[in-house]
Amino acid sequence: MSFERSFSSPAAWTAGKIVLVGLILLHSVWIIIHLNLVSQGRISPWKLGGYGMYTIPNPRPKLFVYDMNFSPYRVSPKELKLREFVMKSRAMVFRCQPYPEPALIALFQENPDLVNRKLRLVTVERKFLHNPIRSETLPHAVMDIKWPEPGFFKYAGTFCDKSYRGKVQLKR
């Protein structure tokens, strides 16, 4: 009885086998890249393949909206509609990217009662701390929104300890 070693014979390498080996190599390289990006805190370990999901606890990001006009009054999560905001937001995948302007516009389009209110958006997530070893829910991003003139809002805040700001026209 003889066994044929299809991968050892150069004549047995077909286009299908070359593609298969190429895909396995690309997949292996992506695993290394994904773990590196997760270790730098740039992407969520639970997204884009999830190879880093066992390196830290699931961040489980949550958004809290505070109305600053009433000495921080938290807007009830039952009152908020966040579907479009989450869909247009990259923060659930690319952790250190601030909320894009289309996501902020979607927030106000879905929740028209928030327009012209001084707001603070706070995103919290579970983080792995080393000394002593534990997991805690801590603020990840803080954004303040003000309305200097009708139809325009300014935002400023920190995301992954980096500051950002901007001004957006709200189209209804």
Could you tell me the two tokens for 56?
A: 């830290």
Q: Which residues contact residue 37 at a Cβ distance below 8 angstroms, ignoring those fewer than 6 apart?
A: 43, 52
Q: How confident is the model at residue 46 (pLDDT cuts 50, 70, 90)?
A: confident
Tell me the average pLDDT across 53-67.
79
| Least confident segment among 11-20, 103-112, 160-169 | 11-20
The backbone region for 41, taken as left when phi is positive above 0, alpha when psi lies in -120 to 50, beta otherwise, is left
- How do the domains of the chain map onto residue ranges? 1-54, 62-169
Is the pLDDT at 153 greater than 90, yes or no? Answer: yes
pLDDT at 132 over 60: yes
Q: What's the Cα-to-Cα distance from 145 to each of 108, 109, 114, 116, rounded to whole Å? A: 11, 15, 10, 9
Q: Could you report the per-residue pLDDT of 48-57, keeping only the tens digit for each?
A: 777 777 777 7
Give mean pLDDT, residues 147-172: 88
pLDDT at 172 over 70: no
Query: Which of 91, 103, 100, 111 minimizes the C-alpha distance to 41?
Result: 91
